[in-house]
Each structure stands twice: as structure tokens, then as C-alpha cells.
């Protein structure tokens, strides 16, 4: 006599096992990301010239070398797979002064590259989208008979002023000098000098909007400024407001 097999039981057991394994894998991955993050208290294999209070390099880190010549300010967020290098290759003696300096509150988006062979300075509270490329060195092609990759490159210091926003996929070339509160549009390629309070876009990047003390933004902004949160509003009040707005939207939908 053949005993019937309850497929539902085996399917339920298999599904439960998959869920348990998935939860365990995700818990393990979270533990690894937390344990392998780099901070001032847990610098891992690196010997940065300085890691400020509250600064964190997420795991996995990108390529990092020349760390004794890299300074990271306080409360910086370095996302996953970000490259930070000082010098053309590891194990060089770059002298007594820092090569790459990040100010306080700098955010580098995932997959960005900051490559400094000569002095590169990023001011306080600069925010970078994902995939930004900043370099002090570019290939040269003076000799038409020698492969470009074998010709000695040119280097020029780079400065990015405090409060600037660098959009996703932007490229900052050697010699660029960005002022304060500069906006670089996504995908822009920036070289040369950009004044304070300017918006640049394109490849090569050009100024598309500037702040004038008498006239304001020129050309004028096309959207109204966002309304700031009033002082003294608590997180609980904001959550209650969000719930009230969601409830109102649901009632409006039902009425429609």
C-alpha cells in the first residue's frame, strides 16, 4: 500500500527553510557591513592622517591608498565603493603635507572616485551624488608617436568650495577651482574657475545660472523655494502631520 505524500507540507517546510536562510544571510551581511565600516575608533587596515569624529567609510570600501596623506574631517559619510587615493601608486613618500583633504560634513556618493596626485581640497558640507569623478591628473598626448597611456600625465591642484553640490556622474578635471555653494549638474565636465553661487552644466560645463546680490538668481528660478520646517517642530509632530496628510489623501481618493 502506497502512502500518499502531502506536497503542501513539504512545500511549507521548504519555504520556511528558505525564509530562515534568507534572514540569517541578511543578518550576517548587516553584521559584516557594521564590523567592516571604517571610523576613527576602528580604522581597519588604514593609517589616515586624520579621521574626524563621526566620520564613517561604508563597507565595502573602494580603492584606498596613500592614506597617510589623506585627511577626513568630522561627520563625513563615505559611501560604498568610493575610491580615495593620494599619489600615483601605493607606497610612495609624498612629503610632509597632506595631499587630499575633506572638510567637515562631506558626503561622497556611492562609487565616486577622488584621485589626488597633487593637492586636492574639498570644503565643508559638500555633497556628491553617486559616481562622481574628481582628479588632479589627466593624460597628455603631446607626442603623436607614443601611446597616450605611456606619456607622462599633467597634474594641477583642485579646490571645491564649501557648501557645493556635485551631481551624479559629474567629472571635475585638474585645475578646477569651484567657489562656495556651487551646483554642478549631473554629468557635467568641469574645468577652470567657477565663481561662488553659480550653477554649471554641460560638457564642457558652462554657467547657466548665477546669484546676483541685487537681482537674485539670474535667470530667475522656475520653481518656488521649499518651505522650511518651522523651528520647534518635533519629530512626533511631523509624523502626526504625515499621517494626517495620508488620511486626507485617502479620503479624497474615496470621494473621487
> pLDDT by residue (tens digit) across 63-75?
999 999 999 999 9
Q: Which of the pair, 19 or 256, is modelled with greater confidence?
A: 19
**pLDDT (tens digit per residue) in 106-142:** 999 999 999 999 999 999 999 999 999 999 999 999 9
Which pLDDT tens digit goes with each residue over 148-193?
A: 999 999 999 999 999 999 999 999 999 999 999 999 999 999 999 9
- Mean pLDDT value across the chain: 89
pLDDT tier at 8 (50, 70, 90 boundaries)? Answer: low
Neighbours of 144 (CB within 10 A): 6
* Contact in structure between 162 and 123 (CB atoms under 8 Å): yes
pLDDT at 251: 53
What average pLDDT score do residues 196-216 get? 95
Compute the average pLDDT of residues 224-251: 76
User: How does pLDDT run across 22-41, given as a tens digit for each residue?
Assistant: 888 888 888 888 888 999 99
Q: Which pLDDT band holds residue 101 (cuts at 50, 70, 90)?
A: very high
Confidence label for 53 from pLDDT (cuts 50, 70 and 90)? very high
Considering only CA atoms, which of 31, 66, 33, 73 is closest in space to residue 50? 73
Q: How large is the C-alpha radius of gyration of the chain?
A: 25
- For every residue of the chain, DSSP letters joined together read -PPPP-HHHHHHHHHHHHHHHHHHHHHHHHHHHHHH-B-SS--TT---SEE-TT-EEPSSP--EE-GGGEEE-TT-EE-TT-EEEESSSTT----SS-SEEE-TT-EE-TT-EEEESS-EEE-TT-EE-TT-EEESEE-----TTS-GGGSPPEE--EEE-TT-EE-TT-EE-TT-EE-TT-EE-TT-EE-SEE-TTEEEETTTTEEEEEEETTTEEESPPSSPPPPPPPTT--HHHHHHHHHHHHHHHHHHHHH-
Spatial neighbors of 147 by CB under 8 A, at least 6 apart, are none
Question: Is the Cα dihedral 146, 148, 150, 153 positive or negative?
Answer: positive
Is residue 248 scored above 70 in pLDDT? no
pLDDT at 124: 97
Q: What is the pLDDT of residue 252?
A: 47
pTM: predicted TM-score of the whole model, two decimal places? 0.82
Domains in the chain, start-ordered, CATH in brackets? 38-242 (2.160.10.10)
Residue 253 has pLDDT above 60, yes or no: no
Neighbours of 120 (CB within 10 A): 27
Amino acid at each position: 500500500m502506497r502512502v500518499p505524500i502531502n506536497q503542501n507540507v513539504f512545500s511549507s517546510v521548504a519555504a520556511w527553510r528558505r525564509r530562515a536562510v534568507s534572514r540569517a544571510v541578511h543578518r550576517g551581511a548587516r553584521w559584516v557591513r557594521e564590523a567592516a565600516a571604517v571610523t576613527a575608533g576602528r580604522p581597519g587596515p588604514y593609517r589616515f592622517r586624520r579621521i574626524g569624529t563621526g566620520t564613517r567609510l561604508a563597507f565595502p570600501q573602494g580603492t584606498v591608498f596613500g592614506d597617510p596623506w589623506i585627511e577626513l574631517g568630522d561627520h563625513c559619510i563615505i559611501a560604498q565603493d568610493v575610491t580615495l587615493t593620494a599619489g600615483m601608486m601605493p607606497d610612495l613618500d609624498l612629503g610632509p603635507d597632506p595631499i587630499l583633504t575633506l572638510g567637515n560634513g562631506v558626503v561622497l556618493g556611492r562609487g565616486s572616485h577622488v584621485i589626488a596626485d597633487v593637492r586636492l581640497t574639498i570644503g565643508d558640507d559638500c555633497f556628491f551624488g553617486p559616481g562622481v569623478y574628481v582628479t588632479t591628473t589627466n593624460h597628455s598626448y603631446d607626442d603623436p608617436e607614443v601611446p597616450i597611456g605611456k606619456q607622462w600625465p599633467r597634474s594641477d591642484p583642485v579646490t571645491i568650495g564649501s557648501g557645493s553640490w556635485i551631481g551624479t556622474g559629474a567629472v571635475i578635471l585638474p585645475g578646477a577651482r569651484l567657489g562656495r555653494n556651487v551646483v554642478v549638474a549631473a554629468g557635467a565636465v568641469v574645468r577652470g574657475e567657477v565663481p561662488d553661487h553659480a550653477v554649471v552644466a554641460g560638457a564642457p560645463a558652462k554657467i547657466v545660472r548665477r546669484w546676483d546680490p541685487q537681482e537674485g538668481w539670474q535667470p530667475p528660478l522656475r520653481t518656488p523655494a521649499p518651505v522650511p520646517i518651522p523651528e520647534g517642530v518635533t519629530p512626533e509632530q511631523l509624523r502626526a502631520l504625515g499621517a494626517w496628510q495620508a488620511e486626507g489623501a485617502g479620503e479624497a481618493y474615496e470621494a473621487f
